[in-house]
């Protein structure tokens, strides 16, 4: 009944560039949960908005809930960490989904300015990751399962790490310089101080993306 979905998925996951796109998506979503989870776990307020606004009123009430507020932070942290590793990324995507769906509905309900568009993109990215791992949960659907066809070999190639590290390092530098040129967040005054760190972070991010993508060629 779902043979068309099996065939489509098998063709999609054979595309090498999508392996890197999937790895990048996993890592970005993980970072998008891990960073905001830390203040929640520490019991710190999520926003400085006053209670006279609907958004500020909601988050103040959420902060006052105590352990429930921290519980949300722990949930985000665990889902984010699971997404980082290729071997646990499917579980991470499933854990991520109800949390980001709830956050998206919340941001739309309270009209949280541009944040609702960001959470919408995060939700779509999460759905993409669930589709990418379709063959891992396909068995619970009422039909047979088509094994995923993999790239033929996987070997360590320094050129690949240098390429992806260089691409992301250059991209991070260009993005930072663009923000500095526009003087967003007063970055123009800190170019010489922060540029090297931004480039190194971009290079490390690219290397990790390539490593993560390489693991996707491993047989299931």
* Cα distance from N-terminal residue to C-terminal residue, the chain: 23
Contact present, 36 and 72 (Cβ < 8 Å): no
Give pLDDT, residue 152.
Answer: 47
CA-based max dimension of the chain:
61
What phi and psi values does residue 198 have, to the nearest 5 degrees? -65, -45
Give pLDDT, residue 156.
Answer: 66
Alpha-carbon gap, residue 24 to 7, rounded angstroms: 24
pLDDT at 55 over 70: yes
Name the 3-class secondary structure at 91: helix
Higher pLDDT, 186 or 200: 200
Taking only the tens place, the pLDDT of each residue in 87-125 is 999 999 999 999 999 999 988 888 777 788 999 999 999
Q: How does 154-178 read in b/e, with b if 16+ C-beta sit within 10 Å?
A: eeeeeebbeebbebbbeebbeebee
pLDDT at 1 over 80: no
Give pLDDT, residue 131.
Answer: 92
Alpha-carbon gap, residue 145 to 2, rounded angstroms: 9
């Amino acid at each position: 009944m779902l043979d068309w979905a099996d065939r489509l998925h098998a063709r999609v996951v054979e595309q090498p560039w999508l392996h890197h796109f999937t790895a990048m998506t996993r890592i970005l979503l993980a970072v998008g949960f891990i960073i905001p989870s830390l203040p929640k776990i520490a019991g710190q307020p999520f926003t400085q908005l006053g209670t006279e606004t609907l958004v500020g009123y909601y988050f103040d009430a959420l902060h006052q809930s105590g352990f429930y507020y921290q519980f949300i932070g722990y949930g985000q942290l665990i889902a984010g960490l699971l997404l980082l590793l290729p071997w646990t990324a499917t579980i991470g995507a499933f854990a991520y989904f109800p949390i980001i769906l709830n956050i998206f509905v919340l941001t739309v309900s309270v009209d949280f300015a541009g944040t609702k568009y960001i959470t919408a993109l995060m939700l779509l990215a999460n759905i993409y990751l669930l589709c990418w791992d379709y063959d891992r949960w396909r068995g619970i659907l009422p039909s047979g399962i088509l094994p995923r066809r993999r790239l033929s070999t996987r070997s360590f190639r320094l050129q690949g790490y240098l390429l992806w590290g260089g691409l992301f390092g250059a991209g991070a530098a260009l993005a930072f310089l663009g923000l500095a040129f526009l003087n967003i967040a007063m970055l123009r005054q800190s170019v010489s101080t922060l540029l090297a760190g931004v480039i190194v972070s971009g290079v490390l991010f690219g290397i990790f993306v390539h490593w993560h993508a390489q693991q996707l060629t491993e047989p299931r």
